[in-house]
Amino acid sequence: MVTSLSPAEFLEKARTIPVIDVRSPNEFFQGHIPGSFNIPLFNNEERAIVGTLYKNSGREASVFRGLELAGPKLSGFIRVLRKLVPGKEVMVHCWRGGMRSESMAWLFSVAGYTVWLLEGGYKAYRRTIREALGGKINLVILGGNTGSGKTGILKAMAGTGEQVLDLEGLARHKGSVYGGLGLPDQPTTEQFENDIWHCLEGFDLSKPVWTEDESRKIGIVNIPDPLYDRMHRSVMIRIGTSRESRIDRLVSEYSGFGNEALKEKTSRIAEKLGGTTVKIIHEALDRNDFSTVVQLVLDYYDKAYEHAVSRRPGREIHDLPLTGNNPLANALIILGFFDSLQPEQYMPYGTSLS
């Protein structure tokens, strides 16, 4: 049996039923529903052949060629499906909810599976989540200069049960020019958006969702415009820590990646640092003087961050000095401070003062 579902209905069922994406590997890499599996009806080359034939010779010719290409693989599709899906229900989609997903849904149903089909395909899913990212999300922004320990604090908050949207974790990048060191390749911006929504849909969005203050771009990916706009208009708690503790933290975090890698990353902001400063940084790296390197780089990032905060159009910024370096202790201090704010200073969406 094959039943079509709206994107909202499909995503609700997908919480417990495996999702099979039948698009080509390249399409799947560009962006997919988090947690879904790829069983492509056509590989990348076959999809190009069928698509070109459709444009040049019409639907009938492309369908016939598609059948020739897919026919020998049908039994293999079922073998793969049985390995991936433990039960007898499966969710299926392609790009627009057309022939590819309908064909695979038919095949899976013939093999004895109950099949749920996504109306409008992945394209409809993308439209749905982008609209949702512009909806009401009660964000609380944790701000602070580079090296303040915000990431560790947010992880500690998550450990206490707070809702935390870890944008840098999802982006696989820590934000600065050095932020990709030691991390796996970043996702595409499209997949980054999908992963953000997958995280948010597991939250109660009427309650606070904590996230770190970020630039629009994190490495090579961009924060979706609706979410970025909401971040800039949300309450911020900006923590202050000593410059010495920030330097120590950054030296500990980045000194193990090799001096040549640090030189290469520094060269990417050479124009902003200035030639003389870059020369001093390189010389400091040659003698393993990481403290000097961090101090010089922090001069640039501190100015950039203060400029960015000054342009922030959002709600009031609350400054909170911190003296210790324990992430959990600092998380509890921040949460206590947040709880002390009056409704006029933090008013969740959907509430009023009247």
Active site residues: 94
* Residue 169 CB-density burial (10 A; 0-12 exposed, 13-18 middle, 19+ buried): middle
Distance in angstroms (rounded) separating the CA atoms of residues 92 and 82: 14
Distance in angstroms (rounded) separating the CA atoms of residues 70 and 43: 10
Residues forming beta bridges with residue 210, ordered by sequence position: 140, 164
Structural tokens at position 268: 């990417």
Give first-to-last CA distance, the chain, whole Å: 52
Q: Which ranges in 116-242 belong to alpha helices (H)?
A: 121-133, 150-159, 167-171, 189-200, 225-232
Q: Which of 218, 178, 176 is nearest to 196 (CA)?
A: 218
295 CB contacts (<8 Å, ≥6 apart)? 247
Distance in angstroms (rounded) separating the CA atoms of residues 80 and 226: 38
* Residue 323 CB-density burial (10 A; 0-12 exposed, 13-18 middle, 19+ buried): exposed
Distance in angstroms (rounded) separating the CA atoms of residues 150 and 213: 9
Q: Which of 141, 140, 147 is nearest to 322 (CA)?
A: 147
The DSSP code for 352 is -
Q: How many residues does the chain have?
A: 354
Where are any strands of DSSP class E within the chain? 2-5, 19-21, 37-38, 89-93, 114-118, 139-143, 163-165, 209-212, 217-218, 221-222, 235-240, 317-321
Check if the beta carbon of residue 284 is closer than 8 Å to that of residue 263. no
